[in-house]
Amino acid sequence: QAFTELQAKVMDTQQKVKLADLQIEQLTKTKKHAHLTDTEVMMLVDETRMYEGVGRMFILQPKGVIHNQLLEKQRIAEEKIKELE
């Protein structure tokens, strides 16, 4: 009976580790996507019209706001990755 309980705990732990790994992988992709997008945005001139997607509409935003949002997205993803590790 003790072996069965231990085996159940091991399986539960393995599932939690797999879930954490999947979450880390997804957050890493999100972080990389935000970084690449930010790199492309920063190459554009400051007068470029940029739009932020909000639901089913787009809102005109200055370049600085878009840049700050992408940096914040990267920072949040990095914090969540550290929490999961």
Tens-digit pLDDT string for the chain (85 aa): 788 888 889 999 999 999 999 999 999 999 999 999 999 999 999 888 999 999 999 999 999 999 999 999 999 999 999 988 8
Range of the domain at 24: 1-84
Q: How many CA atoms lie within 13 A of 3 on its CB side?
A: 0
pTM of the model: 0.76
Domain count, the chain: 1
Quote the tokens at residue 85: 């590790």
CATH code assigned at 3: 1.10.287.370
The DSSP element (H or E) to which 70 belongs, if any, is helix 63-84
What is the identity of the amino acid at 48? Answer: T
Q: How far apart are CA 60 and CA 41, in angstroms?
A: 14
